[in-house]
Amino acid sequence: MTPLMSLTSSSPDETARIAARLGASLGAGDVVLLQGPLGAGKSHFARAVIQSRLAELGCVEDVPSPSFTLVQTYDLGNVALWHADLYRLGDPSETIELGLDLAFDEAICLVEWPERLGDLTPPDALHLYLEMGSAPEARSLRFASEAPAWADRLARLTPSLGV
């Protein structure tokens, strides 16, 4: 995995702003794999992306975690957004039953616990590693990908991410 960028967030609000900026740049076929330990902020990051995209459409909606449903989908008008939490998956083949393999090509996909994908992990995905920081609400965010396009896209986003 090629490291692309590292950021430090001092608060949940700052993490949400970073998520919203990244979220605004996402389109059909973009897959963001959210990785990190329990409590690192994967769901918070995904929720901020989703809420910011819905707000662009004038929608204010509660965004539940898909921990029990496994997948929540959102209609953004011109593209669907899928939020998947794969923590409870037993086998990578279950993602096919969910239709996630098709969504990877057609939708914006935010995937928590992507380790459960195994060989079905999209090779061009953006990996976001979230870790607890030194202060209680601080987080470290590390972006990585094998796809050169993500390096260019993150570089264009850097000024708006506050880096």
pLDDT in tens, 47-83: 999 999 999 999 988 888 888 889 999 999 999 999 9
The CA distance from 35 to 102, in Å, is 21
151: confidence class by pLDDT, cuts 50, 70, 90: very high
Which residues lie closer than 8 Å to 52 by C-beta, 6 or more apart? 16, 19, 20, 23, 24
Which residues lie closer than 8 Å to 45 by C-beta, 6 or more apart? 15, 16, 18, 19, 34, 128, 130
Residue of 16 and 62 predicted with greater confidence:
16
- Is pTM, for the whole model, over 0.75? yes
Q: Which helix (H) or strand (E) holds 149?
A: helix 148-161
| Average pLDDT, integer, range 92-115 | 95
156: confidence class by pLDDT, cuts 50, 70, 90: confident
Q: Which domains does the chain have, with CATH numbers?
A: 10-135 (3.40.50.300)
